[in-house]
Structures are given as C-alpha cells and as structure tokens.
C-alpha cells in the first residue's frame, strides 16, 4: 500500500512537473511574441517601401529607354532632312545644265518629292519633340518621387536597424531559452502546445484561471473543473478554446496570500454590531 501511494504520488508530481515545464516555455515564447509584435509592422513597412522603390526604378528605366528611342528618332529625321536639303541643292544645280525640257521636268519632280520628304521630316520632328517633352516631364515626376521616397526609406531602414540591434540579442537569448525549455517538455504535450499556438494570433496555448474564467478565451470554468485544475493530476483543456490549463506555483502563492474575502468580513462586522445592539 505504501509503495502504491508512492507510485501514485510520483505520477501526480509528473503531471504537475510537465505542466510547469510547459508553462515556463509559454512564458518565454510569449516574450518572443511580444518582441516580434513590436518589430512586426516595421520590417513589412520597409519591405513595402523597398518594393515601391523598385517599381519606381523600373518605371524610370522604361521611360529612359523610351526617351532614348525618341531622341534617336529626332537625330534620324534631322540627318535625313539635312541630306535631302543637300540633294535639292544638287538637283537644282543639275537643272541649270539640262539639255531638254523632259530632263528639266524630271528633275523638277525629284525636287518636289525631296521637298515633300523635308515636310514629312519636319512633321515627324514636331511629333518627336512633343513626345520628348512629355517623356521628360514624366521622367522628372518619377525622379522627384524617387528622391522623396529615398529619404523616407533611409529613415525607416535606419529605424529598423536600430530596433534589430536592440532586440536581436534579446531574441537570440530567448530563442535559446525556449529551445532549452522545450527539451524539458513532454513530447506529446509539446506537439499539442505547438498546434494550439499556431491556432491563436496571440500565441497563447497555456493559460491560467483568471477570475473563474479561461485566461485565453474568458469562458467561465465550472467550480469542479477549477478544483481539478488546481489539483494538477490531469492535463485539462478549455472546452471552449482548447487551450491547456495550468495552475502555476506562482498563482498558488498568490492565491494563498490573497486578503480575506469580503463576505466573512461583512458577517463579522454585522455580528459585532448585533452584539453591540
Ligand atoms: Zn478558453
């Protein structure tokens, strides 16, 4: 009988120890979550801004390429225009030394065509110049957008660097502690813990009783269940959210040191008054 009692006591202690180890892990992991939460927005913000910057750079690259094409077009047309002008001069000279009317007429036609070519060049040059102006103003817009974002991005990147330099050491330390704490946790409980942690955004898998309710979802816990949780003989989970309950030693000490409940005080003062009366 004595041996049986010892065995069962060892068993009880074992569940209690398992839960206590799991609770220690939760406390460490919650600290990690908290740091990641504080950092949370900034890395994403920086990433978004970097993406935006990359987009602006691509736009700038495209505009530059289009602008270069337009400039090439302008140079081409100007060259053709000059060449055609020279051709006209040459043809006019030829016209002076023609032998008959037919030759004269033929050269006149060529000159006419060359003049049309010049007109066409001038029209194209006007179009290209308009395009160039529009591309240039769009380039300027993108340039000023880049310049504006560049400073903002630098500030945010610097801010992130500072936060990371402050938190990286702490995070590394906590992650090591978490690994150590994990090695002490029962394997089956650990896989349950990991699963529950993934389910909830606040990463809480192990909860205490908080004002007769689940510390995770605030569902009321029946008194009988609260008693069982406090006995630490079984692994009990919240029926509403599935989180694992723990009655930590800390909480037990806290409960033991709680001031005397209101109700008995009232009774005592009443009875005192009753006696005085
Ligand atoms: Zn719950």
Q: Please report, for the chain, the start and end positions of each structural domain, with discontinuous segments joined by +.
A: 15-184, 188-276
State the distance from the centre of ligand 1 to the C-alpha of 250, rounded, in angstroms.
20
State the distance from the centre of ligand 1 to the C-alpha of 188, rounded, in angstroms.
20
State the distance from the centre of ligand 1 to the C-alpha of 141, rounded, in angstroms.
55
User: Identical fold at 15-184 and 188-276?
Assistant: yes
Average pLDDT over residues 102-107: 94
Lowest-pLDDT range, 45-49, 158-162, 202-206, 261-265?
Answer: 261-265
CA-to-CA dists, residue 234 to 19, 114, 164, 213, 228, angstroms: 9, 102, 41, 18, 8
State the distance from the centre of ligand 1 to the C-alpha of 207, rounded, in angstroms.
8
CATH assignment, 188-276: 1.10.287.1490
**CA-angle at 221, arms to 220 and 224, nearest 5°:** 145
Tell me how far the alpha carbon of residue 174 is from its chain's centroid: 22
pLDDT at 174 over 50: yes
State the distance from the centre of ligand 1 to the C-alpha of 46, rounded, in angstroms.
36
Residues 6+ apart with CB under 8 A from 240: 214, 217, 219
- Residue-wise pLDDT for 210-260, tens only, equals 999 999 999 999 999 999 999 999 999 999 999 999 998 888 888 888 776
Tell me the H-state helices in the chain: 2-96, 101-183, 187-199, 223-231, 249-256, 262-276
Whether residue 185 contacts residue 14, with contact meaning beta carbons closer than 8 Å, is answered with no
Question: Considering only CA atoms, which of 223, 247, 221 is closest in space to residue 235?
Answer: 247
What percent of the chain is modeled with pLDDT above 70?
A: 89
Question: Considering only CA atoms, which of 138, 162, 152, 161 is closest in space to residue 66?
Answer: 138
- Residue-wise pLDDT for 114-159, tens only, equals 999 999 999 999 999 999 999 999 999 999 999 999 999 999 999 9
Mean pLDDT of the chain, nearest integer: 88
CATH assignment, 15-184: 1.10.287.1490
pTM of the model: 0.55
């Amino acid at each position: 009988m004595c041996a049986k009692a010892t065995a069962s006591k060892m068993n009880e202690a074992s569940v209690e120890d398992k839960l206590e180890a799991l609770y220690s892990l939760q406390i460490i992991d919650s600290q990690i979550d908290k740091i990641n939460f504080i950092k949370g927005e900034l890395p994403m913000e920086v990433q978004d801004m970097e993406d935006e910057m990359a987009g602006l750079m691509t736009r700038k690259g495209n505009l530059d390429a289009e602008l270069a094409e337009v400039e090439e077009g302008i140079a081409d047309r100007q060259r053709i225009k000059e060449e055609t002008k020279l051709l006209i001069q040459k043809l006019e000279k030829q016209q002076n030394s023609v032998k008959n009317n037919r030759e004269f007429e033929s050269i006149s036609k060529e000159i006419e065509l060359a003049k049309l070519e010049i007109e066409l060049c001038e029209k194209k040059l006007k179009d290209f110049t308009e395009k160039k102006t529009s591309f240039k103003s769009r380039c300027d817009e993108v340039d000023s957008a880049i310049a504006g974002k560049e400073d903002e991005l630098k500030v945010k990147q610097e801010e992130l660097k500072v936060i990371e330099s402050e938190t990286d050491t702490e995070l590394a330390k906590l992650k090591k502690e978490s690994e150590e704490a994990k090695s002490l946790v029962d394997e089956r409980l650990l896989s349950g813990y990991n699963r529950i942690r993934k389910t909830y955004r606040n990463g809480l898998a192990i909860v205490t009783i908080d004002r007769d309710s689940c510390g995770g979802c605030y569902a009321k816990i029946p008194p009988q269940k609260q008693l069982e949780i406090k006995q630490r003989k079984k692994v009990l989970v919240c029926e509403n959210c599935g989180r694992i309950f723990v009655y930590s030693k800390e909480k037990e000490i806290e409960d033991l040191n709680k001031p005397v409940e209101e109700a008995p005080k009232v009774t005592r003062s009443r009875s005192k008054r009753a006696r005085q009366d």
